[in-house]
Amino acid sequence: MEKEIKKPWHSLSAEEVIKILKTSSKGLTSEEANKRLKVHGYNEISVKKKSPLQIFLRQFENFLILILIIAALISALLGEIIDSIAIGIVILIMGIMGFLQEYRAEKTIEALKKLMEPVSLVIRDGKEQQIPSKNLVPGDILILSEGDKIPADARLIESYNLEVDESSLTGESVPVAKDANAVLPEDTPVSNRTNMVFAGTYVVRGKGKAVIVETGLTTELGKIAVEVAEAKEEKTPLEVELDYFAKRIGLVILALSAIVFTIYVLIDREQVIHALMASIALAVAAIPEGLPAIATAILALGALRMSKKNALVKRLSAIEALGSVDVICSDKTGTITKGEMTVKVVKFPNSEYSVSGAGYEPHGELKLSNGKHNEADLKFLLEILAAHISTDVKLINKEGKWSIQGSPTEGAALVLSYKGLSPEGVNKAINELKTVKIIPFDRFRKRKTTAHTYQDRYLVVSSGAPEMLLDISFKVRIDGVEKPLTDDIKSNILSEIERLASSGYRTFGVAYKIIEEIPEDDEELEKDLVFLAVLGIVDPPREGVKEAVAMTKKAKIKTVIVTGDHKLTAMAIARMIGLDVSEENVLEGATLEKMSDEELLKVIDNITVFARVTPMHKVRIVRALKSKGYRVAMTGDGVNDAPALKAADVGVAMGIRGTDVAKEAADLILLDDNYATIVEAVKEGRLIWENLKKPINFLLSCNLAEVVAVATSAFAKLPMIFLPIQLLWINVVTDSFPAIALGLEPPEPGLLERPPRKERLINRRKLAYYVFMGLLLGSTTVAFYALLLPKYGVGIARTFVFTGLVLAEIGLALVSRSENNLIFKLPANKKLIWALLGAIILQLIAILPPLNTVFKTEMLPKELLPLLLVFPVVPLVDEIRKKLGIRLS
C-alpha cells in the first residue's frame, strides 16, 4: 500500500486516517490483513536469534582451550601427531557437550517465550478477535481497555476517559489523557499527540478504539530501538553468582596449574611442551566454566515442565524465590474460586427471591422465597440492570455453550435480567434506557455507575459493594415507594448483607436515582442514591484448591486471602478451602488504612484474610511480610496491582483475567488463574532448586579431586599422574551423563513436608565440603599411584588411577543425589543408573583396545581389579555425615 500522504497521522482526522489506510470501523478482512503483512512485515522489533553455529563456536572462545589447541599444534609439529589429534577430538567432544547444553537451554527458553507471545483485541472480518500482536498491520482496528499494552502506533477513533502511561516512550510518568476527536498541528511532539497511542505504552484507564498506522520498526518505539544498540541479554542473579564462583575457582586452579607446570619443568627441562600441555589440560578439565550453562539448562527445563502445569515463569531467576516461598497471598475471586458466577438470591428490603439455573445459561426462574411479592420492583431492577450492565458485558452463545464477555460479577447480573425478562425484554430495556455516561468499576470505589435517558429525564444506576452503596444512599425503595433510609432500615439491610456474605455469597448491591440533569462532576453523579436491592452471587471454590491448601500447610507455607470482597464472604470461602479463620484473623482495608506500619507488623502474622482491600493495600501487605523475613508470592490481575506484583518476591499474574500490565510486572503467570497452580509451581520450584544443587556439588567436588591429585603428585615429584588426554577424558565422562542425570533427580522424600529454605547455592560450609571431598578422593588416588608405581611401572599405575578416579566420581555422583538423605532412602532414578553405565562404558573405551593406544593406557593385571572397588566406596563416607545429621547449609 502506497503512502501518498505527506501529513503526519496526528494532524489528520480519524476519518481521513481510516480512508487513507483503506479500512473501516469493521476492520480489515483477514485476506487483506495477510496481504499487508507481506508488505509491512511482522509487527516486531528485531528479534535476533543466536544461530546454532554461533552457540557452537562460542564453546571454543575460551582462552584456555585456545592455548590447549595451540599447545597441541606445537606438539604435533614436534612429531606427536596422534597425541595432538586425540586431544583435538576430545576438545571437540567437550565443545559438542557444551553446545548441546546451551542449545537445549536456548531452545527451551525460546519455547517459553512463544507461550508468552502477546495478543491484541482487534476487529477483523467485522468481528472482535484476539490476534497475535506480531501479525498486526496498518489498517487494523484495535480495541483498547484498561491494562492493555498497546501493540503498535495507532490513531484513536474513539476514546472514553482514556489515559495512557507513556513513560516507556517519553519518560513522563504521569498518565496522558487521550482524545480521539483532537486534530493536532503537524509539529506536535510525540509526548503531546493526544489523538494517538504508541507501541509499548499502557492503557491505565478508560477505553478506546484506534486504527493502527505504523507497525514494527516504523513505530516510535521501533525508531528508538533502532537507534539504541540492542540491549545485551541480562544474566540472572543466579548465573552471575555461578559465573563469579566459577571464575574464583578457576583462578585457584590456574594458580595450581602454573605451579604444577613449574615443578614438571624443573624435574625435566626437556619436557616443556608436555608439562605445558599437562597443566593446561588440568585447567581446562577442572575449571567449572560449564556450570552456568548447566544451571541455565536445568532452570529452563524446569521452567518448561512448569509451563506444562500451567505456570509460566517469566524470569528463570524467579524459580529460586519460588522454591523458598513462605507466604502465598492470593486473590479470592477467580483464583481460589471458580469465578463463574451465578446470582442465586435477590433481596429487596421486604422480599426475597431465589433464582434457579447454573452458570451463565439464561434459563431459570425467580421464585419468591420470603416476604411478599413485589412484581414492580423486581421488573424495575431487572430492566435497569440490563441497561447498566450491557454497557460493558455481553452474553454469548457459542455452539450452545453460554459464556460472558466482561466482568463475571456483572455477567451474573445480566444473566439474571435475561432469566426474569426474556431476551426481548432485555433488548427493550437497553433500547429505551440509552447510555449517556459510564464510570467503570474500579477497585478503589468498588462500584460502577452509569447514566441513561429515562423518559424525559435521566436515570443513574450504581452497582457494587452493597454496604458501601448504602453509605452513599439517602433513600431506599420499599414496595415501589422511595422512603428515607432510616438507621433502622439501614441496619436491617446491613444484617441481611452479612447473612448472605456469611453463607459465602458474593454480595452485589444496586442503587439508582432519577435526575433532571447530568452533573459535570462524577462524585455529584454518585451521590444521594436510592438503595434498591442486594444480589447474592455464588462463586464456589475451585476443585483442587482445598487439597492445595492442605499441601501448603504441610510445607509450612501460609496461605493468605487478599480480596476486595466482603469480609464474611471471604471468611466463608476461606473455611470452605480448609483455612481456619475467626474474627481475629481478618483485617479489613479500612482498618489497615488507619494502622501505622509498626501496628501492621504486630498483627500481620495472625492475619489470614484481608478483606475489602484496594490494590494499594496489597503493597503494604507485601512490604510488611517481607520486612518480617518472609518470602512472599502475591497475585494480581489489574493495572493497579503492578506495584504489589513488583514488590513481592514472586509476583503472580493471572493469565486469563490478567491485564498486560500485571503480566509485565509479574515473575510468574498462571495460565489457568488457579491457586492450585501456584502451589504446584512452588513445589516445582523447590524441586528445581534441589536439582540445581546436585550437579553443582558433584562437579565441584570432582574438579577439586582432580586438581588435588595432580598437584600433590607433582609436589611429591612423582611422574605425571595423568596425561593431558586422560584428564580431559575424565572431564568428558563426568560432565556428560552423570551431571545431567543428577539434574533430573525425582523429588526427595519430604521435599514438601519441610519448611521453606533460604540458602545460597554455594556457601562456606559447602565449600569446605568440596575441599574435603576433593582431598579425600585426590589423596586416595595419589596414594594408590605412589604404591603401584614401583612394582607395576608408570603405564599400569596411571591406567589404574585414571580408571579409579572415574569410579570414585561415579560414587560421588551417587552420594550427590541428596544433600541430607541417605541414598537408600531415595526413590530410584533410572536415568542416573543409565548415566553411570554410560560413564563406565566411556571409561572402558579409554582402557580397552583399540583406543587404549590413543589414551596411552595399559591392560590392568587381574590382581589389581578388585582394588579398583575401593574407589567408588570412598565417597560413601559422605553417608556418615548425612547419618550424623551434619548439614551443608
Interacting residues with ligand ADP (CB under 6 A) = 331-333, 407, 409-410, 441, 443, 446-448, 463-465, 506-508, 563-566
- The 3-state DSSP class for residue 445 equals coil
# of chain residues touching Mg ion (CB under 5 A) = 1
- Residue 465 partner contact from Mg ion, ligand ADP, none using kind-dependent CB cut-offs of 5 to 8 Å: ligand ADP
Q: Which does 207 bind (CB under 5 to 8 A by kind): Mg ion, ligand ADP, none?
A: none
Helices (H), 349-446: 375-389, 408-432
Q: Which is nearer to ligand ADP, 323 or 464 (CB)?
A: 464
Cα separation, 857 vs 868, whole angstroms:
15
CB of 412 to Mg ion, least distance (A): 13
- Cβ atoms 185, 162 nearer than 8 A: no
User: Of the candidates 373, 408, 381, 379, which has an alpha carbon nearest to the alpha carbon of residue 394?
Assistant: 408
* Options 201, 218, 333, 552; binder of Mg ion; rule CB under 5 A: 333
816/749 Cα distance (integer angstroms): 15
Min CB(318)–Mg ion separation in Å = 24
CB of residue 249 to ligand ADP, shortest distance in Å = 49
> In whole angstroms, how close is the CB of 658 to Mg ion at the nearest point?
11
Do 714 and 274 meet the contact criterion of CB atoms below 8 Å apart?
A: no
Residue 568 CA: distances (Å) to CA of 76, 510, 609, 649: 82, 19, 10, 29
Q: Which is nearer to ligand ADP, 448 or 766 (CB)?
A: 448
Q: Is residue 337 near Mg ion by the rule CB under 5 A?
A: no
Instruction: Let me know how long the chain is.
Output: 889
Considering CB distances under 5 to 8 angstroms, the limit depending on partner class, which of Mg ion, ligand ADP, none binds residue 410? Answer: ligand ADP
- 331 catalytic? Reply is yes
The active-site residue, picked from 331, 442, 673, 878, is: 331
- Give the shortest CB-588-to-ligand ADP separation in angstroms: 12
Q: By C-beta, is 416 or 732 nearer to ligand ADP? A: 416
Q: In one letter, which amino acid is 847?
A: I
Nearest CA among 799, 766, 705 for reference residue 256: 705
Residues 396-435 interacting with Mg ion (rule: CB under 5 A): none
3-state secondary structure string, 616-662?
HHHHHHHHHHHHCCCCEEEEECCHHHHHHHHHCCEEEEECCCCCHHH
How far apart CA 22 and CA 19 sit, in angstroms, is 5
Q: How far is CA 630 from the centre of its chain?
A: 19
- Point out the residue whose Cβ comes nearest to Mg ion: 333
Give every CB contact of residue 107 below 8 A, 6+ residues apart in sequence: none
Nearest residue relative to ligand ADP (C-beta)? 564
- Shortest approach of ligand ADP to residue 207 CB, angstroms? 14
Q: What's the CA gap between 649 and 141, in Å, rounded?
A: 38
Are 331 and 408 a contacting pair, CB within 8 Å? no
Q: How far is the CB of 675 from ligand ADP (least distance, A)?
A: 13
Nearest to Mg ion of 64, 642 (CB atom):
642
Q: Cα separation of 630 and 558, whole Å?
A: 10
Q: Taking a C-beta distance cutoff of 8 angstroms, is the pair 127, 143 a contact?
A: no
Instruction: Decide if 552 contacts 328 (C-beta within 8 A).
Output: yes
Residue 849 half-sphere exposure toward CB, CA atoms < 13 A:
1
Q: Using CA atoms, how far apart are residues 41 and 136, in angstroms rounded to an integer? A: 9
Q: How far apart are CB 594 and ligand ADP at their closest, in Å?
A: 20
Residue 565 binding target from Mg ion, ligand ADP, none, CB below 5 to 8 Å by type = ligand ADP
Q: Per CB under 5 A, which region of 327-335, 375-383, 390-398, 673-681 contacts Mg ion?
A: 327-335
CA 412 to chain centre: 31
446 binds, among Mg ion, ligand ADP, none (CB under 5 to 8 A by kind): ligand ADP
SS3 272: helix
Which C-beta is closer to Mg ion: that of 307 or that of 333? Answer: 333
* 364 vs 615, beta carbon nearer Mg ion: 615
Provide φ and ψ at 210, rounded to 5°.
-150, 150
Angle at which helices 724-735 and 81-115 pack, to 10 degrees? 20
- Residue 441 contact among ligand ADP, Mg ion, none, beta carbon within 5 to 8 Å by kind: ligand ADP
Partner whose binding site includes residue 214, from ligand ADP, Mg ion, none (CB under 5 to 8 Å by kind): none
Query: Closest separation between CB of residue 442 and ligand ADP, Å?
Result: 9
Of 218 and 563, nearer to ligand ADP (C-beta) is: 563
At its nearest, how many Å lie between ligand ADP and the CB of residue 337? 8
The item of ligand ADP, Mg ion, none sharing an interface with residue 475, based on CB under 5 to 8 Å by kind, is none
What does the block give as the cell for 682?
512452588
Instruction: Please name every residue paired with 507 in a beta bridge, in sequence order, or none if there are none.
Output: 536
User: H or E stretch including 701?
Assistant: helix 675-715
Pick what 463 binds: ligand ADP, Mg ion, none; C-beta below 5 to 8 Å, kind-dependent.
Answer: ligand ADP
Contacts of residue 216, Cβ cutoff 8 Å, sequence gap at least 6: 40, 41, 42, 43, 44, 45, 152, 222
| Closer residue to ligand ADP, CB minimum distance, 163 or 565 | 565
Q: Tell me which H or E stretch contains 843.
A: helix 830-847
DSSP state at residue 557: -
Nearer to ligand ADP, 319 or 622 (CB): 622
- For 647, phi and psi rounded to 5 degrees? -70, -30
For residue 446, the minimal CB distance to ligand ADP (Å) is: 4
> Each residue of 129-148: b (16+ CB within 10 Å) or e?
eebebbbbbbbbbbbbbbbb
Q: How far is Cα of residue 246 from the mean position of the Cα atoms in its chain? A: 27
Taking the least distance from each CB to Mg ion, the nearer of 639 and 773 is 639
Q: Which amino acid is at 629?
A: G
Is 712 strand, coil or helix?
helix
Q: Which does 778 bind (CB under 5 to 8 A by kind): ligand ADP, Mg ion, none?
A: none
> Residue 508: which of Mg ion, ligand ADP, none does it interact with, CB under 5 to 8 A by kind?
ligand ADP
**Chosen from ligand ADP, Mg ion, none, partner binding at 138 (C-beta under 5 to 8 Å by type):** none
Question: What distance in Å separates the CA atoms of residue 448 and residue 56, rounded to the nearest whole number?
Answer: 58
Nearer to Mg ion, 673 or 819 (CB): 673
Nearest approach, Cβ of 332 to Mg ion (angstroms)?
A: 8
- Of 288, 325, 323, 289, the closest CA to residue 303 belongs to 323
Rank residues 408 and 743 by Cβ distance to Mg ion and give the closer one.
408
| Catalytically annotated residues | 331
Which stretches of the chain bind Mg ion, using CB under 5 A?
333
